Structure 1
């Protein structure tokens, strides 16, 4: 499952930023995930929790924001939501040869929130008991 490699990459980047910023504990990581990015949000949340164990992110909340896929026809200029699976034939002129995907492939860290101070494990009461997920 590639969600684990994504979670580990996010944790690594956030750890680096948190260390440079003098963070004691990361409390929230907000991600933007495109509808066509091939990421299952619940699987990512589960993997994120595992990847955070023993790091400054332990106990951090993961908030995912889904970005709907949109395309634009280069021939007629019509833009439309592609849906999932994506419909890449222009509903305006029925062409599929000059279509540009505008949104839907995003996978980026939007914001990170942390507490200042010396790093240490999150108290047991602050650790989530179930994987954290954000419904789209």
Structure 2
């Protein structure tokens, strides 16, 4: 299952970033962009991620995946379109076969939320409200 190797790579990268940041005590969530043409099944990735996080700094972390639709542009007429699945790589405007894939292959960590060892700052204190007018 290729999704397990992706999950392990994500965990390695997040753990490395947490080590570099210093006093990280837990990772709460990881946001990942997954292109529709990346060959990754988001549900399988979420399952593998949960299993692979056990016993790590990411144990219990939520994996949030953002789908990135595939888009292409015709090099002949500059028309761009959503390629869909299975991908349609011939230009729907002119029928040209020379296309550039603009989006859809992403597999990128775009956000990590973690706790660090610093205690949360206390809430601001307010003066009591006086009932005198």
**Taking structure 2 as the reference length, what is the TM-score of the superposition?**
0.86
Q: What residue in structure 1 maps to residue 75 of structure 2?
A: 74
DSSP-derived class of the 1:90 partner: coil
Q: Deviations over 1:16-66 (max 9, x none)?
A: 111221210000000000000000001000000111100000000000000
Cross-structure match for 1:90? 91
> 1:83 deviation in Å?
0.4
1:64 aligns with 2:65: yes
Give the TM-score normalised by the residue count of structure 1: 0.84
Q: Map of 1:25-40 to 2, 5 A cutoff?
A: 25-40=26-41
* Aligned residue pair count: 117
Structure 1: which 4+ aligned runs deviate by more than 2 Å?
none
Counterpart for residue 3 of structure 1:
3
**Which runs of no fewer than 5 residues in structure 2 stay unpaired?**
119-133
RMSD across aligned positions (CA): 1.0
Larger RCO, structure (CA 8 Å, separation 6 or more):
1
Structure number with greater Rg is: 2
